[in-house]
Structure 1
Amino acid sequence: MGKQLHEPVAIASSDARTARKSSSILRDVFSSRRRMLIAAAWLLLLLAAFSAATFAWFSSSRYTNVTPAAHTVSDSGYDLLIGASQGGPFDTECALSQTDKTLYPISTADLTSFWRGTFQNANGITTEYANCTANVDDYALTGTFYLKGSSAPLAVYLYQSQMNVTSDPQLLAALRVGFIIEGSSGSQTYIFSCDDLGSTAGATSRRTTAQDGVVVSGAGSWNYVADPSLSIGGYTMDGTGDAPVARAGAQPLYTLAADEVVRVTYFVYMEGCDDNCSNEAQSRDISLQFAFAATRA
């Protein structure tokens, strides 16, 4: 009987140990699951934060149906001609080299060094950049054409009323058009905002850089500098048809010597540091047309 009395006690003690062990395992499992759930919750929260922070420097922007063209007009009988090759043929209009392009946000202060964003913090502020100059063609629409003067020196302007890039307010506000003009008198670089080419009313604005009104500059390492973009209106001729007149106070882009041919390298890109370079600018089409006019210098 004594043995029988002790056996239940021994069994009860074993069950208790087993129960305590099982309880401990369950606590560990629940604790582990809780930690996993907390970790998953944080992961989802972080993903949500980063998803909500992609206001600029996005990577899936698509622009199609780009139909680039460029033409020139002159007044007073002085011809300004354009061509796709330095040796001609030259005419009043020519097609640009690329007709379909995907654009991605980049930043530049001089059309020499280009930078792309590589990291945004949870507040949507881009904090890191990488130099993408070597493959800028992957991010921007670029190409060259040539302007040819007549037997007299010509002062060359933009012809704003004949220019076009897009009618979309958001994209128009974010885009930049850059020109590097190279000729006998040296090189001139211009970066223009596109706000003058249509209405930007209603475009979303949100700062995505640590400073306002800046772009990314530098060759080896990057830094912020003041946005150098100019108004097209300060370098244009007005009018219709073949009789434009320089706008009051406007400056010529370049003065061509008699019969001179100059090389023009162009860039059409999204300035990623612009407050309007936000997700709303994605999946818009560009119908690109440059226009130049000239008068006797």
Structure 2
Amino acid sequence: MLDKLTTEERNSRTANLDEMTTLEILEVMNEEDHTVPASVKKELPNIEQVAKKAIQVLKQGGRIIYFGAGTSGRLGILDAVECPPTFGTPSTLVTGLIAGGQDAIMKAVEGAEDSEEFGAEDLASMQLSSKDLVIGIAASGRTPYVIGGLKYAKKVGAATGSISCNKDAKISKYAEFPIEVKTGSEILTGSTRLKAGTAQKLVLNMISTSAMAGIGKVYKNLMVDVQSTNEKLIERAKRIVMDSTECKYEQAAEVLERANGEVKTAIIMILTNCSYDEAKDRLKSADGFVRKAL
């Protein structure tokens, strides 16, 4: 089946890659990478459907679960692990699974992606329910691990999405909300960590960021649920409060301390001149949306 996949085709521009200078390789890679955002743009209506479903699922107490093999699995994990520090979410709210388990994050686990049963078993181990959204990721669009997971998700009634980099992808048949970003041939034949991987990362960025905005994790364009877990993020939290309220650095630091480091709460306290408890009540009644609370 590989000969039918555009991601496996040879790129005529790099037929003599081994004879090109370093600069020539870099130039052609850069030019090829420029084609990826345009390919993603064509899929925006389908990406929107997945993002809207993600918002619905999160509001109803469900989870987003990415799963895939190799680069695809690692990209899902990468997006998932950034959600807690960026948006203040529990680590279980957005999670990633990779064929072969945790060991496969650092090195290839041969044959793990070839089993539909492993995909189903990994999702079952997470106690998947009908409240959840699972998104299978496979550049080829044919990975058995992903197909098995999507089949299992459908069986338990979970919402399903998929991200592939070939048209008429096999995994699309098993997903309620398929996304197919046709990225074409790679400069190194079949190396889908390149353009295909870039496309997958862009799509995952879109889904998670728009979903978090949709559940109140963003005020204006600021990450108001950021977790101040290191010096950089502590300073970022102060800047967010300053940008939101036009207060001075000293006031931002002082109110943040009274607000137990909670950026949203500090913003409400300053802009409405209320106490910590009152600010928390406002946010609770506004479902966590700062603008609504104000």
- TM-score band w.r.t. shorter chain: under 0.3
The structure in which a higher percent of residues are helix is 2
The structure in which a higher percent of residues are strand is 1
TM-score by length of 2: 0.20
Q: Which has the higher contact order (CA 8 A, sep 6+)?
A: 1
TM-score by length of 1: 0.20
